[in-house]
Structure 1
């Protein structure tokens, strides 16, 4: 779930309609009736941080703030990159260590923890991405546990803007509801414990790329000109389609028939619509392919080889 930062005050029952989650993605929070995990944690997180960037919650909770839960996070591990297309569901698994005070019951039905990603300042992020379910934890010692959770992304439902591609920071949170139901009329947030921690790691959330190649004519006479064309495209999260990636360096490679290794032939760049076109002299049978090495916003991609029959 992509959640944009707001500066509105969070009061009462934390009624933030902007944080609503499509029912198709909803995952009920165990022990918290009627609440969706992503919506619930986003509300508690926003209540715990002030717009100024300072952490609002403390060991003695103020009105409309959770109290500081005795919990911290370490050993955060996530994939180096998450390639996201235009539709469907994408996820990446995160593992981390949860360390907590002896008085924190992480086995309680309404204790929740999970990883998330954010861009911008930790306390006032530009946007965040959560999982649809909380993490699961295995007790290691009386005060530590190893946890595994996921970050879930639905690009077709507005989770990402094109400008969101690039580096995201990793974080983790924990909530002890202590019997409080956030959907109930008597919900008291000051009795809810909350802890979170940012800058635990980084990952790239990238606009998935596609690349094509075609060598023509087929067959081609020996020592005649062979034209190799193709197109480099990447996901546009805002239109739900793939679009040409302009002025990007791509390498044409060749593998002689009967061999296994490709060698570089020449480097070219895509035009303003992502198209590729170059020529070579046909000398022997073999396979031509294009290779794009990628950028922080767009993953590397290599085509399969296109066979050229030289006669």
Structure 2
């Protein structure tokens, strides 16, 4: 176990993402206290790469006629992942801060990526309490990156254009990026002078995460690959590669 001022980390930790889901029903409690809102990382996904430390907060809001005295907030996920955060309360909202260092807190395991849950115990000033498991779901994801290269450049109108690329994601076992295989990725095109990309076709990565496909060159514009993401990996889109069509 590794202790921080903001959290106690057990069997690995995570970078996380928040999903807007109605508050769960209380598993147990006493009195008229009720949990009304749970927010993870401001409602955004938390994505962890191979080296940078991530910091995020989890806030719970409750109501009681006497006021809120305090709360305990913990996070549970796959691969025996667990976080217990220290909280500070202001009015009816209590907030826990979590800090994740991938090379220290992720237990050299990719198994903890995926869907996580917030468990919250909230105390009222008059002794009422509420304990809610799975009060909010969120995702903890491995950072991803996508590349694209179109050629030849320039190309004659009507000739074949080849677009290659690679989809990679962070590994917490060796803290390097590796190809993400067997994933559908959209090939998209934006005509010169426009700001809108349209999908031309969907290409699947090979076992090494590589992409390769061909199209007919017609007009000047930008080509890119766009990956929609999975439960363990966020969306990733390459920068557009401009091709001059003669």
For the criterion TM > 0.5, the same-fold answer is: yes
3-state SS, counterpart of residue 276 of structure 1: strand
State which structure, 1 or 2, has the greater radius of gyration over its C-alpha atoms.
1
Match of 2:96 among 136, 149, 152: 149
3-state SS, counterpart of residue 126 of structure 1: coil
Aligned pair 1:284/2:232, yes or no?
no
Cα deviations across residues 265-284 of structure 1 (Å, max 9, x unaligned)? 11110010001111111111
Preserved CA contact (<8 Å) 1:294 1:301: yes
Aligned pair 1:83/2:47, yes or no?
yes
Preserved CA contact (<8 Å) 2:226 2:237: yes
Gaps of at least 5 residues in structure 2 are 11-29, 124-128
3-state SS, counterpart of residue 111 of structure 2: helix
Return the alpha-carbon distance in structure 2 between the equivalents of residues 277 and 172 of structure 1: 47
Return the alpha-carbon distance in structure 1 between the equivalents of residues 7 and 197 of structure 2: 47
Stretches of 4+ moved more than 3 A in 1? Answer: 70-74, 98-102, 194-197
Cα deviations across residues 176-234 of structure 1 (Å, max 9, x unaligned)? xxxxxxxxxxxxxxxxxx98532111001111110000111111122221111110001
Match of 1:167 in 2: 115
Match of 2:57 in 1: 93
Match of 2:7 in 1: 38
Preserved CA contact (<8 Å) 1:167 1:204: yes
Q: 1:105 to 1:206 in 2, by over 3 A?
A: closer
Mapping of 1:199-214 within 5 angstroms? 199-214=134-149
Q: 1:137 to 1:158 in 2, by over 3 A?
A: closer
Q: Is the helix fraction higher in 1 or 2?
A: 1
Preserved CA contact (<8 Å) 1:217 1:226: yes
Match of 1:118 among 63, 76, 82: 76
Q: Is the strand fraction higher in 1 or 2?
A: 2
Preserved CA contact (<8 Å) 1:80 1:204: no
Return the alpha-carbon distance in structure 2 between the equivalents of residues 90 and 73 of structure 1: 27
Mapping of 1:38-57 within 5 angstroms? 38-39=7-8
Shift of 1:116: 2.5
Match of 1:219 in 2: 154
Larger RCO (CA within 8 A; separation ≥ 6): 2
Match of 1:191 in 2: none
- TM-score, normalisation: structure 1: 0.63
Q: 1:239 to 1:71 in 2, by over 3 A?
A: farther
Preserved CA contact (<8 Å) 1:253 1:290: yes
Q: Kindly report the root-mean-square deviation, in angstroms, between the aligned alpha carbons of the 2 structures.
A: 3.1
Aligned pair 1:127/2:81, yes or no?
yes
Aligned pair 1:20/2:27, yes or no?
no
Aligned pair 1:260/2:195, yes or no?
yes
Preserved CA contact (<8 Å) 1:129 1:153: no
Return the alpha-carbon distance in structure 2 between the equivalents of residues 274 and 154 of structure 1: 26
Match of 1:57 in 2: none
- TM-score, normalisation: structure 2: 0.78
